[in-house]
Amino acid sequence: MFKINRKLEYALISLRHMSAKSPGQLTSAKEICDIYHTPFDPTSRVLQIMAQHEIVRAEQGAHGGYQILRDPSKITLYDLTKIIEGPIEIVNCFHGNYSHCDMTSSCNVISPMLNLNERISELFKTINVRELISSRNQGEKQIRSKPFMQGAQKE
Protein backbone atom coordinates (compact mmCIF):
# COMPACT_ATOMS: atom_id res chain seq x y z
CA MET A 1 0.00 0.00 0.00
CA PHE A 2 1.31 3.43 -0.91
CA LYS A 3 1.22 5.82 2.04
CA ILE A 4 2.46 9.27 2.89
CA ASN A 5 4.94 9.10 5.77
CA ARG A 6 3.70 10.38 9.16
CA LYS A 7 6.49 12.98 9.25
CA LEU A 8 5.11 14.51 6.06
CA GLU A 9 1.64 14.52 7.63
CA TYR A 10 3.02 16.37 10.68
CA ALA A 11 4.66 18.92 8.36
CA LEU A 12 1.35 19.49 6.53
CA ILE A 13 -0.58 19.72 9.82
CA SER A 14 1.92 22.29 11.09
CA LEU A 15 1.88 24.35 7.90
CA ARG A 16 -1.91 24.34 7.76
CA HIS A 17 -2.12 25.44 11.39
CA MET A 18 0.44 28.21 10.94
CA SER A 19 -1.14 29.46 7.70
CA ALA A 20 -4.44 30.00 9.54
CA LYS A 21 -2.78 32.34 12.05
CA SER A 22 -2.24 36.07 11.70
CA PRO A 23 0.99 37.01 9.88
CA GLY A 24 3.89 37.26 12.31
CA GLN A 25 2.17 35.19 15.00
CA LEU A 26 4.36 32.40 16.37
CA THR A 27 3.30 28.80 16.88
CA SER A 28 5.07 26.39 19.21
CA ALA A 29 5.54 22.69 18.54
CA LYS A 30 3.72 22.06 21.83
CA GLU A 31 0.70 24.06 20.63
CA ILE A 32 0.47 21.98 17.45
CA CYS A 33 0.88 18.73 19.39
CA ASP A 34 -1.74 19.69 21.97
CA ILE A 35 -4.34 20.70 19.37
CA TYR A 36 -3.82 17.89 16.84
CA HIS A 37 -2.60 15.14 19.21
CA THR A 38 0.63 14.57 17.30
CA PRO A 39 3.70 13.21 19.11
CA PHE A 40 6.03 15.98 20.25
CA ASP A 41 9.44 14.65 19.17
CA PRO A 42 8.62 13.91 15.50
CA THR A 43 6.53 17.08 15.15
CA SER A 44 9.30 19.18 16.66
CA ARG A 45 11.90 17.51 14.43
CA VAL A 46 9.83 18.19 11.30
CA LEU A 47 9.53 21.86 12.28
CA GLN A 48 13.31 22.00 12.80
CA ILE A 49 13.90 20.44 9.36
CA MET A 50 11.54 22.97 7.76
CA ALA A 51 13.40 25.77 9.59
CA GLN A 52 16.75 24.46 8.27
CA HIS A 53 15.30 24.63 4.74
CA GLU A 54 13.86 28.12 5.36
CA ILE A 55 10.23 27.08 4.95
CA VAL A 56 9.52 28.28 8.47
CA ARG A 57 11.43 30.59 10.78
CA ALA A 58 12.34 29.45 14.28
CA GLU A 59 12.50 31.88 17.16
CA GLN A 60 14.19 30.63 20.32
CA GLY A 61 13.20 31.44 23.86
CA ALA A 62 10.35 31.11 26.32
CA HIS A 63 7.97 32.92 23.97
CA GLY A 64 9.52 31.49 20.81
CA GLY A 65 8.05 29.30 18.17
CA TYR A 66 7.72 28.99 14.41
CA GLN A 67 6.15 31.01 11.65
CA ILE A 68 5.85 30.39 7.93
CA LEU A 69 8.67 32.06 6.03
CA ARG A 70 8.07 30.84 2.46
CA ASP A 71 4.79 31.19 0.63
CA PRO A 72 3.22 27.68 0.66
CA SER A 73 1.99 28.24 -2.92
CA LYS A 74 5.67 28.34 -3.96
CA ILE A 75 6.45 24.97 -2.31
CA THR A 76 5.48 21.82 -4.18
CA LEU A 77 4.48 18.60 -2.49
CA TYR A 78 7.52 17.11 -4.25
CA ASP A 79 9.85 19.68 -2.60
CA LEU A 80 8.33 19.17 0.84
CA THR A 81 8.46 15.38 0.49
CA LYS A 82 12.13 15.52 -0.53
CA ILE A 83 12.97 17.79 2.42
CA ILE A 84 11.10 15.72 5.02
CA GLU A 85 11.44 12.14 3.74
CA GLY A 86 14.14 12.23 1.09
CA PRO A 87 13.68 11.24 -2.56
CA ILE A 88 10.41 9.65 -3.62
CA GLU A 89 11.00 5.92 -3.91
CA ILE A 90 7.95 3.77 -4.60
CA VAL A 91 9.80 0.54 -3.93
CA ASN A 92 12.71 0.15 -1.57
CA CYS A 93 14.71 -2.25 -3.73
CA PHE A 94 16.40 0.52 -5.72
CA HIS A 95 17.64 4.02 -5.02
CA GLY A 96 18.31 6.16 -8.07
CA ASN A 97 20.59 4.10 -10.29
CA TYR A 98 21.47 1.55 -7.63
CA SER A 99 19.67 -1.64 -6.53
CA HIS A 100 20.36 -3.61 -3.37
CA CYS A 101 17.94 -6.42 -4.20
CA ASP A 102 19.20 -9.94 -4.89
CA MET A 103 16.47 -10.38 -7.54
CA THR A 104 17.59 -7.42 -9.69
CA SER A 105 19.11 -9.52 -12.46
CA SER A 106 15.87 -11.47 -12.97
CA CYS A 107 13.26 -8.88 -11.94
CA ASN A 108 10.71 -8.09 -14.63
CA VAL A 109 9.20 -4.96 -13.02
CA ILE A 110 12.22 -2.66 -12.69
CA SER A 111 11.19 -0.50 -15.65
CA PRO A 112 7.50 -0.32 -14.66
CA MET A 113 8.45 0.66 -11.08
CA LEU A 114 10.94 3.27 -12.30
CA ASN A 115 8.23 4.65 -14.60
CA LEU A 116 5.69 4.70 -11.77
CA ASN A 117 8.18 6.47 -9.53
CA GLU A 118 8.79 9.12 -12.21
CA ARG A 119 5.05 9.65 -12.77
CA ILE A 120 4.32 10.05 -9.06
CA SER A 121 7.24 12.47 -8.76
CA GLU A 122 5.82 14.49 -11.68
CA LEU A 123 2.36 14.50 -10.05
CA PHE A 124 3.82 15.72 -6.73
CA LYS A 125 5.57 18.54 -8.64
CA THR A 126 2.17 19.81 -9.86
CA ILE A 127 0.64 20.09 -6.37
CA ASN A 128 1.58 23.12 -4.33
CA VAL A 129 1.36 22.97 -0.55
CA ARG A 130 -1.09 25.91 -0.28
CA GLU A 131 -3.67 24.25 -2.53
CA LEU A 132 -3.24 20.96 -0.68
CA ILE A 133 -3.64 22.34 2.86
CA SER A 134 -6.50 24.60 1.79
CA SER A 135 -8.45 21.90 -0.02
CA ARG A 136 -11.70 20.39 1.19
CA ASN A 137 -13.23 17.01 0.50
CA GLN A 138 -16.77 15.76 1.03
CA GLY A 139 -15.40 12.56 2.56
CA GLU A 140 -14.03 14.46 5.58
CA LYS A 141 -17.46 14.69 7.22
CA GLN A 142 -18.07 10.95 6.85
CA ILE A 143 -14.65 10.02 8.18
CA ARG A 144 -15.01 12.33 11.19
CA SER A 145 -18.43 10.84 12.02
CA LYS A 146 -17.06 7.30 12.35
CA PRO A 147 -15.51 6.47 15.72
CA PHE A 148 -11.84 5.51 15.82
CA MET A 149 -11.41 1.75 16.05
CA GLN A 150 -8.04 0.46 17.22
CA GLY A 151 -6.86 -2.38 15.01
CA ALA A 152 -9.79 -2.05 12.60
CA GLN A 153 -9.80 -4.38 9.61
CA LYS A 154 -8.54 -2.90 6.35
CA GLU A 155 -10.82 -3.14 3.36
The Cα–Cα gap between 128 and 122 comes to: 12
* pLDDT for position 119: 94
- CA angle, 84 then 88 then 90, to 5°: 130
State pTM to two decimals. 0.86
The Cα–Cα gap between 1 and 6 comes to: 14
How is residue 74 annotated by DSSP?
Answer: G
The Cα–Cα gap between 118 and 83 comes to: 18
- CB of 87 within 8 A of CB of 8? no
Structural domains in the chain, sorted by start: 6-131 (1.10.10.10)
* pLDDT for position 152: 57
Please give the mean pLDDT across all residues of the chain. Answer: 89
- CA angle, 30 then 45 then 4, to 5°: 105
